[in-house]
Amino acid sequence: MAGVLDALASYVQNMLTEIAKEEVHILLGVTGEIGNMGVKLGDLKNFLVDADRRNITDLSVQAWVKDLRRAMYEATDILDLCQLKAMEKGPSQDMGCFNPLLFCMRNPLHAHDIGKRIKNLNERLDDIKARSVSYEFIDLGSYEDRGGNMVSPSSGTRETSWALDESGLVGEKIEEDTRNLVQMLTQEYQTNQEYRNIMVFAIVGVGGIGKTTLAQKIFNNEIIQQEFPKKLWLSVNQEPNETEILRRAIIEAGGNHLATGNTKAALERALIEALKGHKILLIMDDVWDHRIWVGVLRTPLVNAIVAHGSRVLVTTRHDTVARGMLAKKPYHRVSKLEYEDAWLLLKKQVVGNGNDDEQKVDVLRDIGMGIIAKCDGLPLAVKVMGGLLHHRKILRSDWEKVLNDSIWSVSQMPEELSNAVYLSYQYLNPNLKPCFLHYALLPKSTVFWKSTIVAMWISEGYVHGNSYNLEAVGEDYYNQLIARNLIEPNERYADQVVCNMHDVVRSFAQYVARDEALIACGSETSVTDKHNSQNVIQLTLEAKESESKEVEWSSLQVHRSLRTLIIVGQMKINPGDSFSSFSSLRVVHIEDGNFNALSESLIHLKHLRYLSIRSTDTSRLPENIAKIKFLEHIDLTGCEDLVKLPSGIVKLQQLRYLGLYCTSINNIPKGFGRLTNLRTLDGFPAHVDGDWCSLEELGPLDQLMHLQIRGLEHVSSSSFAIKARLPEKVRLTYLLLNCTIGDGDDHRLVKEEEQQQIMNVFDELCPPSSLENLVIEGYFGRQLPSWMTSTSIAPLGRLRILGLDDLPFCTELPNNGLCQLPNLELLQIKRAPAIKHIGPEYLLLHHHENPRAMENIGSDLKIQVIKCPNLERINNLPRLHNLYVIICPKLKVLEGLPALQRLVLEDYGMETLPRYLHGVNPRHLQIDCSLSLLTCIAAGKSSPEWGKFNHIQQVKAYSGDKDSPRKWHVLYTREPFFFETNISRSAIGEGNELTMQLLHHPGTALCLLTGEYVRLERIRWLDYAHMLTN
């Protein structure tokens, strides 16, 4: 990974420059050696551009690059050793700007050893440089020079889903293919008796040609939505886990996967129960082996006796898979893009829609068509090229460089790899290359948030910049990979915090990193038998539950050069197992597995920067954790057995992230405020010990950007809250304030003095004006904090997201509404009985003389109100696009909402549709109601409810029972007219006599926040929760 070399070389070169500046070479007695090392590194750095190009296909160059890479890794180990020695001694008072390396060099006890190691490394670099002559590398200068006119950016197998990003759709062909396949899936066929209910259809094509996009288009098609009450999307991929596939199928079907065991038989029974009697569409995306259907899913679907007309649609690269699944012939083969459609797609990626640069791009059509020809009609390749050209100036010379690049003619790469991706990779900024390769090595089936990935990049040394803003720089890298279409935002998550990587892109990246990275899936053989163990620096292991034998920790010991270890799932750990063999580790990420037995041995990892042990059995951390001096990131989220932090944690001066959410930690050690480098602090417990309160420790933490405080009911005095000094934290963008006493439906009596006390405490927790996300949970005061009122002198002008969750004792709201919220995008109010009215005078800007000031509201405002029993009016919100009303029985007025696009109403006690529907005209209306009301709606034009909803373009109404919340439906489209229900005519005629079936599903209200199509178990609150908790 030569891209990593460039970053390492720059780091070492910068440090050596500092040494020369301070004349440290004189102290070491190696004056010439230090100077020579800087020169050699500079010379080698210029060769890296050409070496990077040839490394992918030239075996001899690959050997040279490996040697240089190992030398650079040793250089970083030496520098780490210097820093460790300096940290042990502490900085001198007269050093000014503390340079640990410099301090170490001035210590004569260490100088000889360090000098000798540098001298040896220098000799190795001499040899490497001498060998480079035989390769005749071209001095292409820096990567920045290669990018010349590049526009400056602004300051596993992928897990696919049904959500469709329509920005990449062009042309009529995909519409035609969609119509044809929808017709095939919905028409009647005469089939043999055994499989008459489950016919299989196949979409076949090469990687990157658009199979998944076509399947998503079909899944979201209106006719499909109306025809199949149950639709399941399964992203299968190359090495599927049988039990995990069954579990995900159960979730997709709305079943309860938690109530069953982990055995295949138990999961099959649960899937049968969830599907029994339903008409289903199962889409299996990216299938590589027909046995996942034949041996895993077909039997439970057949035994479920699904309704006639049920279908399976599979996407695959191989005809053999379609044949093995007995798919109906002929298979649908996705054709390549027509030239005109490809040109439209390329332009979309370069300039977007309606951009003034479109005319400039049209002038370069001839060159663009040449590039498209080299993409061979593959949509993915066209998108990647569009992402590359988007970052270059719209000049003929720049586009011609891309068109005429020699990479298009490279023939040594495996046939299935894309030259378009290769070319895009070569044009990446050097800082982006290692980040791109690292992303491709993450486990396939695990969701990694943007913040986690950026933290890994920082810990690996891939992110360059001032320590003050490393997270912002890392996020910029992440966004640049999105802009270049090398990773794709997952549409199920807002703010692009989760992305996918297409198989073709991932395959290329893994090919580039093949000599240093090992990706294994639950097989001990795959861990030990692949690659030269001394070359592997990153190991990713997904331990499968279905494996009969767990992978043993001892089997990893051969990889002694590891710098990154990522494990998802259980390992077999024997007595005596430890980290002692992995002294070079920088990153350890272990999730959903066992870790407790290894915990004490963490102190062997002197170089460790990143430690994440999410949802493991960890009950303790080593008391001498302070010996791991480089630790920057500790994530303990979900470690429920962990009850305390070691006292030594307060000595970790480099710590930037600490996650305590969903642990049993209820207090923190005194001196915590010394961790002044912290940027993120999740799940911080508020507690009092005599005249000391943990909130005091927050005072010095002025670099915090993300803060969660829980258990604020334990704070006995507002004076403690003052010491947290929240208004001074000018970098803070996210704040969660939590009380546990008001959580849930617990309406126990709270003493008046307790209410007054919590109000006083919250009044002193005023956030800074930089805040963008604010969540208040379980607050039991009578009124909201004074800093949220309209008269506040510090309005939250930058706030985008506001969550008011569980305020059961709040009996008073600000008389004049909240403070100004001109940038509000999402407002969620849950279980807040005091709220009777939501309008402009409540939300914002009510005291502005200019009514046009309302235009300052976010352009796509979403409001969700959940279990607010006294809410009566929502009106005069001209920018409101999405409104969710969940169990608010007194709501009578809904008006002044001209931009409303989606309205969701849920109340299973609803007997009639609300009259306020006459006054609104959303494009989409979704209703979850009582069976008696649904039966009345199903009568159509003869129903007294018809006039309330027939003016709305699309209506979906549902009801059900405990086992199937959406068992019955009514689907209506105004133009072109469509009306369908699965309620029988006899039931409609007897509708008034039907017994109403009340239903409350605990996950229903929350999952509605995810938008288009609610799937009660599949799309969870977490899909939007990151907006409020990450």
For the segment 57-71, what is each residue's pLDDT rounded down to a tens digit? 677 788 888 888 888
SS3 368: helix
- Checking if the pLDDT of 561 tops 80, the result is yes
SS3 annotation, 430-444: CCHHHHHHHHCCCCC
Q: Name the residue among 870, 863, 900 with its Cα closest to residue 885.
A: 863
Determine the pLDDT at residue 993.
39
The pLDDT of residue 162:
66
- pLDDT of residue 22 exceeding 50, the answer is no
For the segment 98-124, the average pLDDT, to the nearest whole number, is 64
Q: How do the domains of the chain map onto residue ranges?
A: 2-141, 171-333, 339-512, 909-999
**CA–CA distance, 537 with 517 (Å, rounded to integer):** 6
Model pLDDT, residue 47: 73
DSSP state, residue 873: E
Q: Any bridge partners for residue 737, and if so which?
A: 709, 776
Half-sphere exposure for 139 (CA within 13 Å, toward CB) = 5
Range name among 84-93, 491-500, 851-860 with the lowest pLDDT average: 851-860
What are 956's strand-pairing partners?
Answer: 926, 971
Of 29 and 34, more confident:
34
CA distance 632 to 206: 43
* Residue spans of alpha helices (H) in 817-909: 840-843
pLDDT grade for 243, boundaries at 50, 70 and 90: confident
Maximum Cα–Cα distance across the chain: 100
Pairwise pLDDT comparison (179 vs 101), residue with the higher score: 179
Please give the class, per CATH, of domain 171-333.
Answer: alpha beta
Report pLDDT digits (tens) over 857-906: 445 789 999 999 988 999 888 889 999 999 999 999 999 999 999 999 99
Across the range 606-630, mean pLDDT stands at 95
Structure tokens at 748: 């126990």
Q: How far apart are CA 806 and CA 778, in angstroms?
A: 5
What pLDDT does 1023 receive?
34
| pLDDT at site 36 | 66
pLDDT of residue 92: 44
For residue 866, the model assigns a pLDDT of 93
Residue type, 353: N
**Rounded mean pLDDT, 442-454:** 91
- Chain-wide mean pLDDT for the chain? 80
Q: How far is the C-alpha of 288 from the C-alpha of 870, rounded, in Å?
A: 54
pLDDT at 925: 96
pLDDT in tens, 681-739: 999 999 998 889 999 999 999 999 999 999 999 999 999 999 999 999 999 999 999 99
Q: How many CB atoms lie within 10 A of CB 776?
A: 25
960: number of CA atoms within 13 Å, CB side?
A: 19
Q: What is the pLDDT of residue 1?
A: 53
Who's near 329: CB < 8 A, 6+ residues apart?
none
Phi, psi of 932 (to 5 degrees): -65, -40
- CB-side neighbour CA atoms (13 Å) of 409: 4
Residue 551, amino acid = V
Beta strand 488-489 with 499-500: parallel, antiparallel or unpaired?
Answer: antiparallel
- Give the residue from 256, 258, 313, 251 showing the smallest Cα distance to 280: 313
**Sequence-ordered strand ranges (E) for 799-928:** 801-805, 826-830, 837-838, 861-866, 873-875, 880-886, 893-895, 902-906, 924-928
430-444, 783-797, 816-830: range with highest mean pLDDT: 430-444
Pick 992 or 138 by higher pLDDT: 138
The whole-number pLDDT of residue 307 equals 80
CB contact burial 5-42 (16+ within 10 A = b; e otherwise): bbbbbbbbbebbeebeebebbebbebeebbeebbebbe
- Of 141-145, 261-265, 561-565, minimum mean pLDDT range: 141-145
143: pLDDT strictly greater than 50: no
What is the pLDDT, as a whole number, of residue 120? 85
What does the alpha-carbon distance between residue 627 and residue 535 come to, in Å, rounded to a whole number?
Answer: 28
**Least-confidence region, from 47-56, 550-559, 899-908, 961-970:** 47-56
Q: Would the pLDDT of 998 be above 50?
A: no
Lowest mean pLDDT among 23-37, 278-292, 993-1007: 993-1007
Q: Do β-strands 633-635 and 610-612 pair in parallel, antiparallel, or remain unpaired? A: parallel
Percent of residues, the chain, with pLDDT higher than 70: 76
Asked which of 238-242, 289-293, 610-614 is least confident by mean pLDDT, the reply is 238-242
pLDDT computed for residue 549 by the predictor: 67
CB contact burial 175-210 (16+ within 10 A = b; e otherwise): eebbeebbebbbeeeeeeeeeebbbbbbbbbbbbbb
Per-residue pLDDT band for 823 (boundaries 50, 70, 90) equals confident
> Looking at the predicted structure, is the pLDDT value of residue 11 above 70?
no
pLDDT beyond 80 at 488: yes
Q: What is the pLDDT of residue 817?
A: 60
